[in-house]
Structures are given as structure tokens and as C-alpha cells.
Structure 1
Amino acid sequence: MRNPVNVLATYQVLAQSLIGVAVGIFILKTAQVYLQLRHIPGPLPAAFTNFVRRLWVTAGDLHQKHADLHKKYGTVVRVGPNAVLISQPAAIDKIYGFKAKFIKSEFYDSILPRMKGAKIPDVFATRDEDLHRRMRRPVANLYSVANLLTFEPLLVSTIEYFFSRLDELFTDKPVSFNLCDWLQLFTFDVMGEVTFSKRLGFLERGGDIEDVMENNWNFFKAVAPNTQMPWLDYLWKDNPLVPVSAKRNPLAEFGAARIQERLDLTEGERDKINQKDFLSNFIKEAQKDPSLPQLALQTWTNSNIQAGGDTTSIMASTCLYHLLKNPSTLATLRKEIDEAAKEEASRLHPPIGFPLELIVPETGLVVDGYAIPPGTRVSMNPWAVHREPGLFGDDPDVWRPERWLCGEKQKKAMYNALLTFGAGHRSCLGKNLSYFEVYKVIPSMLQRYDVSCHCTKLDALGLAG
């Protein structure tokens, strides 16, 4: 019979050996990852763990943090063990251009919406290039300028209703109110008009409907930190022990309910709605091509609701805020203010203050003299890129729409550096629709009302962060 003490000692030695091997592998792997990017400057703690990046996101000021890092370290900054942040405008085409072979990283898995526990394929977030092409191609023409012009009467009628609500509640009354909140209600109702042929009731109620706006904000606030450490997201959303109800996306459910309402209409009821709205076209495309994913209709509708409301309201609010704070620009640039103010608003406060992360292909990448090896996660934060002084001047944090009234060569270079809606073949489908709304509502509002701003900074409007 073996001595129990010897058996215990043997197990202790074995356990210690296994722990030693595990620690050794961890140290070796950490050193390997650290060494391959050791030539790229950045905060030292971030070189060893992505938890640093997660803390930056949780703090709520990632956009400003990235801009500050570039001011301190330059256009190429190491922000993780295998992550590099870039702000050089010339790198946009290399990374996001139509000919670039970079693929999306696991970053995007965290922002995929879910319904009843199942992932909904997303035109923007999917990492599958073939699926992206199949999902985008059938509906791309719907977002063309020519097609969007057919919605102008709907947009005008919603603007008129928007103004009637402002007249009813605020005009000629000694009150102050948050106009940015109302611009958000307006943009969500516009999305209702163009997508479902009816306003969704946000303006009528003067507030949120079915918690759509609140849930949209809470969704991104919850998933944003996990984009920096996607495995944490997998532990939650792909964990069979977590109930499906905890993984629900109310915004996706809201869209699904609107789709079902349309499908339940009788033929006579369908004849009374606008057959050219987005949902009618989405249904036609889904029926035309049975090879499309089962949730294609849900995907397209969800994209309109999720991206269309917030993105446009942020741009409109930014434009309005700076015009009111800088009345001289409005007076001196009246003839060209629409275009210049729109570009300056999208530059100064892009709706996305997050890095758009991709994986370096086998060919590698060289930016500003730094060689970045294959497999590295690289990204560019629109907020930081839009503040590159080499392109936008020595006052990139200042509202100055006059910077866009320059020579064609300089104007084209600045325009090509805008990442407001992404770049290349993965850029946002709804870009033209957002610009269309801003072009219409801001000039109309300034012509109709004498508006003054009582905020001292943009953050007071709840726009930054």
C-alpha cells in the first residue's frame, strides 16, 4: 500500500509543475505580444492588458482620451497588448478604403443586436464580408439622394408638425427647454415616416415611446466597455445559464412589432400607405431573394431605427449649438452656411466617438514610419482624426465653418478625412438621409424662430460622451 504522504507530495509537485507551466506560458505570451509592438509609443499599462481600454470606455470620455493620447504620443499610439490607434488622415484609405483587405475584429460582435437570444445580422457590424455584401446590395439604392428626394414631402410635413408643437408649448412663453431633446424626437418621427409611412408619436407625446430612446442609449452604454474585451461579452450573451430575457434588445423588438403590424394589414389597408417607404421596399427585396438571411427584414428595419434617430439628432444639435454660440458665422456665411456648417458639425462632434477596429492583413501596415505586424488590431477614432492640426489647422477644437470655404484641393482632403459615417464599402448606408434632414430642419428653424442658447458648453446638452 502506498504511503498517503508520498501520494500527497506527488500531487503537490504535479500541481506546482502545472501552475509553473501555466505561469511560464502566460509570461512568454505576454512578453511575445509586448515585444512585437514595443516600438510603438503609448501608455505602458495599456501594453499589457486590454482592461485599461475598458476603463477608458467606462469613464465615458473615450473620445477625448484618444484625442489626448494622440497629442501626447503622436499619430500612432499603442492602446492595448495587440491594439494600435491611428489618427493620420492619410491612413484612412489604407485601412478603410475600398481596396483595403482589412477585416473587422471581434469588437463588432459586442454591438450585434439580439432578439429572443438570437443574434440579428447587422449590415454595419457583421464581420462576414460575403454576408455584408448580400445584405447591403439589395437596399443600397434606397439610400441614394435621388430616392431620398421622393421623401421630401414627408420630411416637410414632419418639420411643420415639429414647429407646431414648439409653437403650442414654447413660443411666446417665458420658458427655457432642451431643444436637443426635441430634435431627437423629431428625427425618430422622421424615421417613422420614411420607414413605416407614419410618425411614431414622439413629437405628439413630447417624449419617449416604449422607452425606445432610453433603451437605445442603455444598450450602447452596456455593450461599449465589452467591445474592448469581447470575451467578456461572450461570457454573458453566449452563456446558456443566462436567461434569454436578460439578453433581449427592446429596440429590435420595437422594430419587429412595426414589421408585424405591416404584415398583418389587409390588402385594402396596404393600398392606403406609401408603397415607396423603406419597409415596403424591404419586404419586396426579402420576398424577391429567398437566399437572404431569415432576419434580413428585421436587420434593415433595425438599422434605420437604431442609427437614424440618434446620429442625425446629434449632428443637428451640434450644428445648431455652434451657430447660436457664434452668430457672426451665421451672418457672414449666410450664402454658404448650410454646406460649411454641416461639414464643421460632423467634423467637430461626430456621432461616433469610438475607434472603428479592424485586423491588419498578412501584408502588414506602415503608418508614419511605424511598421505594424499582421494580426494587430488597428483603429481610428473619428473624434481624434477630425482634430489633426496638420489637416484641419491649428484650431481643430474650435467651431470655424470658414475652414471649409477654401480651395478645392484642401476641401477635398478634409472631406476625405471625415469618418463621421465610416469610410469605404463599410460606410453607413443612412449618411445621405442624415444630411438631408439636417439641411432641411436647421435652416427652416433659424428662419422661423429667434432662438438663443443658455448652455455654456456642448456637454451640457448631453451630446458629448
Structure 2
Amino acid sequence: MALHIQSLLPDSGSGSVGGVAALLVLVGVAATAWRVVYSLCFHPLKDFPGPWYTACTSLPLGIAGLSRSEPAWLCWLVETYGKDGSPVRITPELLLFHKACQLRDIYWDAACNTKGSIYQHEAIGPQSLFTTTSADDHRKLRKAVGGSFWSVGTLKKTWEAKIDDLIVDWVGNRKRPSENRKTIILSNKTSEFAADVMTMVLFTKPWGFVKNDRDERGMLHAWRVGTSLFGLAVRWRFMREVILSSKLKDYILPKMSDEWGNGWLMAQGAREISDRHTKLQGKEKGESVPSFNDVLQTAIDARIDDEPLNDTQKLAHMTLLIQAGADTTGTGLGATLRLILSHPEVLAKVREEITAADAKGHLSNPVVQYDETKRHLPYLSACIRESLRLHPPIPNLFSRLVPPSGDGKTIDGFPIPPGTQMLSHAVVVQRDADAFGPEPTDEFRPERWLESEERSARMEGYMYTFGMGPRVCLGKELALMEMHKLVPEVLRRFGVEVLEEGRYCACGGIAYLQPGLMVRLTARE
């Protein structure tokens, strides 16, 4: 007897809605059950160790990031499931590699220089160096907007004297009579300094964080708040591909009409770009316009396949660099000061080293130069490296893709299937005892960097703080320059009474001190 389609549909009337709802629930339960079964029994990564729930959904990773427990949770996963050096499955699609010796096979292999697909989603932002997934596209973009501009030589020649001026102003703010013995959050003040350095390098003139001694338009505060959403979008597929792909994004994401925070940052960046184009047009008409040697001019002059960047690409590049280089460098500065100040024996050695170098005339006055710090303050330089090892400012998840065609890849004896997304994590890998031991690797011990040049160079090769390989952080040398200049100057110029150390925490792959390094400063002679 023929079976009519109509007979499969719920009867009209009061029961129809309930029938449809029940059917939808049944379909949802069946789909979820099949996903669990497939992930645990049939997925190409089914044999890699890890909790059953991380093999079924990326939500646990999203929750760990949102709850600021991601580094500790990942360390626990490694201790529990990765004892033989095996990578750990932390989501259905992601393998975490935790041995320092495995980094080169992931990040230096040109065949694996393609990022995971999550970076292509519009929820992560417009295309920039960070979101470009293709290795070839990234190479072209980095060549166009990077190049020699970010080298140590160019930074010292073009920007070091101007950074020195900002340090003088920053120290002057702290030495004002009204500021003496006043309680401040020192880690916030270092972030304001780093924000002005970055905006100055980008647009020639800083945005006034140091001059006005404040977080301009709440930009830094909004950045920290926004890391929760950003981190959840990167880690949890449903957030990225469903919630932020719906109309809800209009109520969640910042807008350029905002008067503060990330919306203001984008709007101010757009104004800078528009103003620069207006000045350059005036120059073409014969008007007197100064030459610009900043990042914005580099982006304007950049060409990719003989085509200039459009304004959206320029703005994406500018905002990426501010977000990636302002508060993060400030966190590096604050975390280093926190670790030195919380270890009295380390602080005593640092002060003794600075005093001895000063007495010999090795340090310029009033600002410690980058080269002087590295040459004449080796113990302080070791403190900076040890702080970056323990408390990296960007402990994010930077995945790379095993080529989807071919036989896959073997890393440290472990065969990895084609198409696998693999990554490491700075907090985890920089505690690898084989690379940074045998001393306890979760302890702040600057001396480990001074025992021999061979050991120091070997550990430096394993550092993942700024990434590794062709996609290493563009502003790495600028961040190191800031740290080697401001940290010694703070300890040289001020006595510091620590009221609250704060706690190193990471949210959305971005670290900061919560609630901050709270101190009272007293100017020293």
C-alpha cells in the first residue's frame, strides 16, 4: 500500500507543535551521539591521548580560556596524558605538542606554515598578518608591511631616541610631588607607556597615554575585557560559526561609532589613515609636508602583486599591531618587575649590578640605552628572559596545518595524520624540564641563563614567547627594546613598596596581571 508523505507529518492541531519539537530534539540528540561516537571511535586522531570530553567538543577549551585557567589546565593535561612525550588531544581537531624539541618540526617546516581554518572566520577580524592562513599570502603580506622596518638596526636608528623621550616623561610623571608615595597600579602604567610607544611607531605621534598619564578612552581596559570574547571565538567553534555569524554580532562586537575602547581604537586608526592620505595629496600639490618613516607610511607604500593595500587592510594592520604590541608588552614589563620585586635576593642583585655599572660610567643618564643594558647588566637581562619564559604575555594557541594531501608528518616519532591542526603553548612548552631544567622549571631563577653561553643559546632556541618560524612576532625586537630600557630605569630611579603583587593570568590567549602590581614609588637620588 502506498505510503503518503502527509502521513509522516504531525497532525494539525495542538499536537503538531509538540511533535515538531520532539522530532527536532530527537535529531539533535542523534547528531550529538553520532559526533561523540565518531570522535572517539572513527576520527583520525582517535588514538591520541586526552580526556574523552576534549575529543568530543571544543567547549572545554573555551571554558578554560574564559575562566582564566587555560595555562594551568593545559599543564595538567600534559602531566596526566603526555608523560611519554606524546601530543595531547585538546579538542576534536587539535593536538597540543608540549616538548620544546618538537617546536621546530611544527613552526619551521615550510610545508606546515598554513594556519588552521579558524583564523579565516570574519569573527576573528579582517585579514591581517594574524588572520592570514595561507603561507604564500602571509609571506607576501609580511614582506610588504614588515621587512627591515622592524629590525634592531632600524628601530635603534629611527625610534630609540624618541622612546627615550617617552621614558623621561614617564619617569617625570612618577616623580611629581603629587605622585610621591601615591598608590598606583604599576603594571597598568607600563602598559600605558607601551601603548604610546606603539602608536608613535605606527603614526609618528603618540596618542597621549604618557603625556596625559591615563588609559586613553579606556582602550587598554577594553582590550582586556575583549579578550574573553576573542578567546572564546577562537576556541569554541559554535561561538565563532553560529553566534558571531548571526545578527547577535551587531550587539556583541565593538563599533566604530563607540566613543571608547576597541571601537574608538578602530575609529581613531581610520582617522589617522584618512589624515595621512590628505597630507600626501597636499604634498603632491606642492604643499610643505614632512616625510614620514612610520608603519602607516610603510603600509601606504606597500604593494602586493603590484596592488596597494586598501583602507580596510591598512586599518586591520594598524589595529592588529596596537592590540598585539601595547598591553602585551606592558604585561611583559609589569610581570618582570613583579617577579624581581617579589624575590628580595634577586632585587638586591639587580640593584647592586645597576649601582656598579653606574659607578663605572657604563650607563647613560637619564635613560639606560638598549645596548648598555644587554652589555653591562647581564643579570637584569637574565631576569627579563626568565620572566618571559615563566610569564609570556601572549600564551595563545597558534595552530599549524599538516598538509592535507600526502602521508602526514612524523614528529618526535609520533605519526601525525594529514590535515591535522597542531600547536604548542608558551606556558606549557617553556616549562619543559628537558629544555630548561634540571632545576625546577616553574621557579623564577635568572641564574639558569648565566651558567654558560652554550646553555643560554640552547634555551633561547626553545623560547616560544614571541612565536617561532616565518610567522614570528613582527614587533619582537621593539618589545625587547622597551623591556631592556624601562625595567632598569624604574629600579634605578625609584624605591618600590609592593602593596599587592597581582596574579599572572591568561584569558583568550592574552596574559595580564590581575588586578595588577599595586605599589608606592619613592624617587631615589
Aligned equivalents of 2:140 and 2:226: distance in 1?
A: 26
Asked if residue 431 in structure 1 is aligned to residue 445 in structure 2, the reply is no
2:198–2:326 CA contact under 8 A, matched in 1? yes
Q: TM-score with structure 1 length normalisation? A: 0.87
Match of 1:156 in 2: 164
Aligned equivalents of 1:274 and 1:113: distance in 2?
A: 34
Match of 2:395 in 1: 353
The percentage of counterpart residues that share the same residue type is: 26
What are the Cα deviations for residues 189-230 of structure 1, in whole angstroms up to 9, with x where unaligned?
112222222221112332222232133223322121121223
2:113–2:135 CA contact under 8 A, matched in 1? no
Match of 2:209 in 1: 202
Match of 1:87 in 2: 98
Q: TM-score with structure 2 length normalisation? A: 0.77
Distance change (3 Å), C-alpha of 1:458 and 1:214: closer
Distance change (3 Å), C-alpha of 1:189 and 1:22: closer
Name stretches of at least 5 consecutive residues in structure 2 with no aligned partner. Answer: 11-19, 256-261, 354-376, 506-510, 516-525
Name stretches of at least 5 consecutive residues in structure 1 with no aligned partner. Answer: 115-119
Aligned equivalents of 1:178 and 1:269: distance in 2?
A: 48
Match of 2:341 in 1: 324
Please give the secondary structure, in 2, of the residue aligned with 1:414. Answer: helix
Q: 1:308 aligns with which of 315, 325, 328?
A: 325
The amino acid that maps onto 2:143 is: R
1:404–1:411 CA contact under 8 A, matched in 2? yes
Please give the secondary structure, in 2, of the residue aligned with 1:450. Answer: strand
Aligned equivalents of 1:366 and 1:241: distance in 2?
A: 42
Between stretches 41-50 and 281-290, larger displacement belongs to 281-290
Between stretches 16-25 and 370-379, larger displacement belongs to 16-25
Asked if residue 52 in structure 1 is aligned to residue 56 in structure 2, the reply is no
Q: 1:375 aligns with which of 419, 444, 451?
A: 419
Match of 1:417 in 2: 462
Aligned equivalents of 2:178 and 2:443: distance in 1?
A: 31
1:63–1:354 CA contact under 8 A, matched in 2? no
The amino acid that maps onto 2:477 is: N
Aligned equivalents of 1:224 and 1:284: distance in 2?
A: 33
Aligned equivalents of 1:383 and 1:57: distance in 2?
A: 13
Asked if residue 136 in structure 1 is aligned to residue 142 in structure 2, the reply is yes
2:300–2:308 CA contact under 8 A, matched in 1? no
Aligned equivalents of 1:436 and 1:95: distance in 2?
A: 28
Please give the secondary structure, in 1, of the residue aligned with 2:427. Answer: helix
What are the Cα deviations for residues 98-124 of structure 1, in whole angstroms up to 9, with x where unaligned?
53425211332458664xxxxx21112
Distance change (3 Å), C-alpha of 1:298 and 1:98: farther
Please give the residue correspondences for 1:36-435 in structure 2 after superposition, counting only pairs within 5 Å: 36-74=44-82, 75=85, 76-109=87-120, 114=125, 120-138=126-144, 139-149=146-156, 150-168=158-176, 171=179, 173-239=180-246, 243=250, 246=253, 248=255, 250=263, 251-265=265-279, 266-267=282-283, 275-285=292-302, 289-293=306-310, 295-332=312-349, 334=353, 335-362=377-404, 363-393=407-437, 394-435=439-480
Distance change (3 Å), C-alpha of 1:232 and 1:288: closer
Between stretches 389-398 and 450-459, larger displacement belongs to 450-459
2:397–2:423 CA contact under 8 A, matched in 1? yes
1:183–1:313 CA contact under 8 A, matched in 2? yes
Shift of residue 161, structure 1, vs aligned partner: 0.6
Aligned equivalents of 1:230 and 1:307: distance in 2?
A: 23
What are the Cα deviations for residues 414-434 of structure 1, in whole angstroms up to 9, with x where unaligned?
112211111100111000110
1:154–1:194 CA contact under 8 A, matched in 2? no
Please give the secondary structure, in 1, of the residue aligned with 2:443. Answer: coil
1:162–1:203 CA contact under 8 A, matched in 2? yes
Aligned equivalents of 1:164 and 1:247: distance in 2?
A: 35
Shift of residue 271, structure 1, vs aligned partner: 5.5
Match of 1:117 in 2: none
Shift of residue 373, structure 1, vs aligned partner: 1.6
Aligned equivalents of 1:92 and 1:45: distance in 2?
A: 26
Number of aligned residue pairs: give it. 456
The amino acid that maps onto 1:31 is: V
Distance change (3 Å), C-alpha of 1:287 and 1:389: closer
Match of 2:365 in 1: none
RMSD: 3.4
The amino acid that maps onto 1:320 is: L
Aligned equivalents of 1:24 and 1:234: distance in 2?
A: 21
The amino acid that maps onto 2:270 is: A
Between stretches 398-407 and 296-305, larger displacement belongs to 296-305
Aligned equivalents of 1:284 and 1:242: distance in 2?
A: 33
The amino acid that maps onto 1:373 is: P
